[in-house]
Amino acid sequence: MSLADEQAVNEVLEQLTNLLQENEIIQNYQQIKQRVDQNKNLQALEDAMEAAQKEAVQFAHYGKPEAEQAAIRRADDLKKQIDTHPQVVAYRDALYEANDLLQHLTTMIQKEVNDAMEEEH
């Protein structure tokens, strides 16, 4: 690939990146992600779940099966709380939509590149 071709590709890539950043689906995803990342309650639930998981491992290591099972149940309960939290549900939905958009775009680009390559040969 020549330097001019590489520059052209970089320009198109920059335009595509800018268009994606302006896309409503991507902006919605980014806003929801930011709210999830800043949610102190979710962070506390995640920290508590990780602590319970670590306790379960430690209890297993020291041969305390009842304490291990209690820690596993606590971690599972915390995971359910996280998984059903409205912001997490909205985040997953937005992530799915953004992923779907990017997958569609990637498929279109791949098809165009393949078609262009076939025309050259």
Q: Determine, yes or no, domain membership for 21.
A: no
Tell me the per-residue pLDDT of 83-121, one tens digit each, with 9 for 90 and over: 999 999 999 999 999 999 999 999 998 998 898 888 887
Q: Determine, yes or no, domain membership for 100.
A: yes
Tell me the per-residue pLDDT of 40-82, one tens digit each, with 9 for 90 and over: 999 999 999 999 999 999 999 999 999 999 999 999 999 999 9
The burial of 72, by beta-carbon neighbours within 10 Å (0-12 exposed, 13-18 middle, 19 or more buried), is given as middle
Q: Determine, yes or no, domain membership for 63.
A: yes
Q: Is the dihedral of CA 54, 58, 63, 66 positive or negative?
A: negative
Contact 91, 36 (CB under 8 A): yes
Q: Determine, yes or no, domain membership for 3.
A: no
Confidence of residue 5 (pLDDT cuts 50, 70, 90): confident
Q: Determine, yes or no, domain membership for 17.
A: no
Confidence of residue 1 (pLDDT cuts 50, 70, 90): low
Q: Determine, yes or no, domain membership for 20.
A: no
Q: Determine, yes or no, domain membership for 2.
A: no
**Residues ≥6 apart with Cβ < 8 Å to 35:** 87
Q: Can you give the pLDDT at residue 103?
A: 96
Q: What is the CATH number of the domain that holds 90?
A: 1.20.1500.10
**Which has the higher per-residue pLDDT, 12 or 23?**
23
**Residues ≥6 apart with Cβ < 8 Å to 42:** 36, 82, 85, 87, 88
CA distance 18 to 9: 14
**Which has the higher per-residue pLDDT, 24 or 112?**
24
Could you tell me the CA-to-CA distances from 110 to 18, 30, 49 in Å, in that order?
Answer: 19, 25, 41
Domain with 46, as residue range(s), is 29-120
Q: Determine, yes or no, domain membership for 11.
A: no
Q: Can you give the pLDDT at residue 119?
A: 85
Q: How many domains does the chain have?
A: 1
